[in-house]
Chain A
Amino acid sequence: MQSKKKELNPILEVNNLFASTEDLPILKGVTISVHPGEIHAIMGRNGCGKSTLSKIIAGHPSYTITKGEIKFSGQDIQSLEPEKRAQSGIFLGFQYPIEIPGVSNLEFLRVATNARRKFLKKEELDTFDFEDLVKEKLDLVKMDSAFLSRSINQGFSGGEKKRNEILQMALLEPKIAILDETDSGLDIDALRIVASGIKKISNHETGIILITHYQRLLDEIKPDYVHVMADGQIIKTGESDLALELEKHGYEWTDNFSKQYR
């Protein structure tokens, strides 16, 4: 795949990645490269391996890489713990954000933000300074400060959970954000809020991977590249028009690519 910004080194390189869980192969040779400022979309049927790819990049311990490599800022991260990956700037926006009863959202966000700041050699924030920062970021996703005093995602609606994910992205200022079906379960207004938040947070140094089933998110955030995944592989890559074609023809249209790829 040709990068639009060849002069910059890729933030993320996934090379011929094979991975499995409990001896079940899921990824069967995925290759993707994301440069600073690029937005990539990955589309595909349920169960094709999109979420698995995102979790493996973030370091989920349930998956085993059997072949290939993942490089972040030029370094192989296969041996890095999930927290080290996060601290160094990899962000995964969860398809189903986890509810953690009893753990204050505010305290969780503060500890997470300080872990990232520590890595960036920035001063860690005390409770008061952090509250100022978080209130500023809340505006990006139009969240009420009352969410901060609640337990992580507990009792949040689907839309609120997704907005909380984007709030975390805003606070952590990642180098690469992988957003796994951030648009699922959102009504039109919530989708616009989330999309607007993502656009405001991203900049020429950030790479973004949007995992989605639908064009509607891509109407709000135009991707530079669209990849179609099937059976653990990327079977086609194109520009934003590819998503429109998919919307028009459905995934059956991609079956031919899949056969050709095999």
Chain B
Amino acid sequence: MQIIEEIKKNELVGNPTEIQKICLNKLKLNPLPNVKSELWRLSNKSKFSSFLDYSHKNKESKIKLPYENESQNVVRLIIGENSIINLEGENYSIRKLEDSQIIDYIKKNISNFDQNDNWSDLLNHCLCSKKNILGLNISGNKIPPIEIFSASSSESFNAKTLIVFFEKNCKVDLSQINLGNQNSSLSQSTYLCLESNSSVNHGVVSYGENKSNLLNSLNIVQKAKSEYSLGSLHFKYNFARFELRINQLEGDAKTIIKGVQITKNNDQIATYTKMRFNGPNGKFDQINKSLADDKSHAVFEGAIIVPKIAQKTDASQLSRNLLLSKNAKVDTKPQLEIVADDVKCKHGATISQLNDEELFYMRSRGLTLSEASKLQLSSYFQEIIACIPIPKNRWDLLDKLLTEN
């Protein structure tokens, strides 16, 4: 693990920035996460090692986008490629954050980081050059949909960071597409800060190619009366971790999370979510689905944390898993940590196989077993996919990808 060796020697990057120095120092003593901790114990060690083994030289090839034509109605941004972004419309503005704002924000976050919980972000900030940090400030309520691409180059380890501040009363659809090229690792850290009364409809679609790896960390901070909705899809990765941390700073906000991960072959894809309420009247609704085929492994671990201050919290977390082969494996663990005594919290998990009666019903109408299975599978993740705010003209590709997989 070349990266770890270089962290130990504190020579991971030449001429490090202030942020990189801080993070290198933080990681120097314990360069790897504690693999015995709940957050990391199920991570496949060999795959995690391969994630770290790609050259960290950060080869930067131009991203080949899956959508050929740019739509006039969509704001498209590519992390690492867009230098000047200042868009003003009649009712909105999308501005790039000043370097000093970005540094201050990351420094503030790092100071609160737990070495283990936030290891992915620490690594990201060690490796992410200034060019690969995109910071945005968005305001207004008639904002065109925004899509942001992040990608790893072939035979490379790339780190990308996205920070977005959503101003008060802002309302926007934001889709994030993470692409993994062959034999590559992508570390993507995202920070979304929702001011009060803002509403963000967020989609995350991550898919890779042969032997691509992903460490996708998403940190959400919500102020009162804000609404955050996420639809996420992760598939086609040799190894992927999706870490989602949401903090309702003052409670009284609404969070809806719908995610699906599809694993095949020998893949491992894991989703970790931590929902924290720091005030009363917060609402949270999560459903996470896994589809595991062949010899693959899907993991879900979720935690809802409700301290005493978070009275009247209404939270639900459901993990639904479908095993498509005898050799596939699913680990799931939804958890509640409740101190407040006047709350409604529930959680649950199911692991099942394809429904034989549904299959027979479709076959009795002339659909082959393969067609019926595909329809049943697509119905399984349709509930989630429908929440991803990807413009209609982009769906063809996603449909194709999902059908092929």
Which A residues are closer than 8 A to B by beta carbons? 58-62, 81-83, 85-87, 91-92, 94, 97-98, 100-103, 107-108, 111-112, 115-116, 119, 151, 168, 172
Contacts and interface: CB of A to CB of B under 8 A. Distances in A.
Contact of A102 (B360, B369, B382): B382
B352 interface: no
B114 interface: no
Nearest to A55: B360
B365 interface: yes
A58 B366 contact: no
B85 interface: no
A100 B358 contact: yes
Interface of B: 356-358, 360-369, 371-372, 375-376, 378-380, 382-383
B361 A97 contact: yes
Contacts of A82: 360, 363-364
Contacts of A62: 356
B369 A81 contact: yes
A101 B383 contact: yes
Given A100-B376, A102-B379, A111-B371, A168 B365 contact: yes
Q: Is the contact region of chain B dominated by helix, strand, or loop, or is it mixed? A: helix
A134 B294 CA distance: 39
Given A81-B369, A83-B369, A111-B371, A102 B364 contact: no
Contacts of A97: 361
Sort A-B residue pairs by CB-CB distance and give the 5 closest, nearest first: A102-B379, A115-B366, A102-B382, A112-B365, A98-B361
Contacts, number: 75
B362 A108 contact: yes
A59 B361 contact: no
B364 A86 contact: yes
Contact of A103 (B360, B364, B376): B376
A100 B362 contact: yes
A151 B379 contact: yes
Contacts of A107: 375
A58 B379 contact: no
A116 B372 CA distance: 15
Given A60-B360, A108-B375, A111-B371, A102 B365 contact: no
B365 to A, nearest CB: 4
Given A101-B383, A112-B367, 13 more contacts: A60-B360, A62-B356, A83-B367, A98-B358, A100-B361, A100-B362, A100-B379, A102-B382, A103-B376, A107-B375, A111-B366, A111-B371, A172-B366
A98 B366 contact: no
B361 A83 contact: no
Contacts of B369: 81, 83
A82 B356 CA distance: 13
A245 B372 CA distance: 43
Nearest to A107: B375
B209 to A, nearest CB: 28
Contacts of A111: 366-367, 371, 375
Contacts of B363: 59, 81-83, 86
A168 B363 CA distance: 13
Given A58-B364, A86-B364, A111-B367, A98 B357 contact: yes
Nearest to B365: A112
Contacts of B357: 98
A172 B366 CA distance: 9
Determine which residue in A62, A81, A102, A115 has the highest number of CB atoms from chain B within 10 A of its CB, and name it: A102
Given A60-B360, A61-B360, A94-B361, A116 B366 contact: yes
B323 to A, nearest CB: 18
Contacts of A102: 378-380, 382-383
Determine which residue in A61, A82, A92, A97 has the highest number of CB atoms from chain B within 10 A of its CB, and name it: A82
B51 to A, nearest CB: 33
B147 to A, nearest CB: 25
Given A81-B369, A111-B367, A103 B361 contact: no
Contacts of B358: 98, 100
A123 B368 CA distance: 19
25 contacts: A59-B364, A61-B356, A61-B360, A83-B363, A83-B366, A83-B369, A83-B372, A86-B364, A94-B361, A94-B364, A97-B361, A100-B361, A100-B362, A100-B375, A100-B379, A101-B379, A102-B380, A102-B382, A102-B383, A108-B367, A111-B367, A111-B375, A112-B367, A115-B368, A168-B365
Contacts of A94: 361, 364
B360 to A, nearest CB: 6
Contacts of B361: 94, 97-98, 100
A58 B54 CA distance: 54
A155 to B, nearest CB: 14
Contact of A86 (B365, B375, B383): B365
A115 B371 CA distance: 11
Nearest to A116: B366
Contacts of B372: 83
A259 to B, nearest CB: 36
Contacts of B364: 58-59, 82-83, 85-86, 91-92, 94
Nearest to A102: B379
A172 B383 contact: no
A115 B367 contact: yes
Nearest to B368: A83
A59 B364 CA distance: 8
A200 B357 CA distance: 29
B44 to A, nearest CB: 31
Nearest to B386: A102
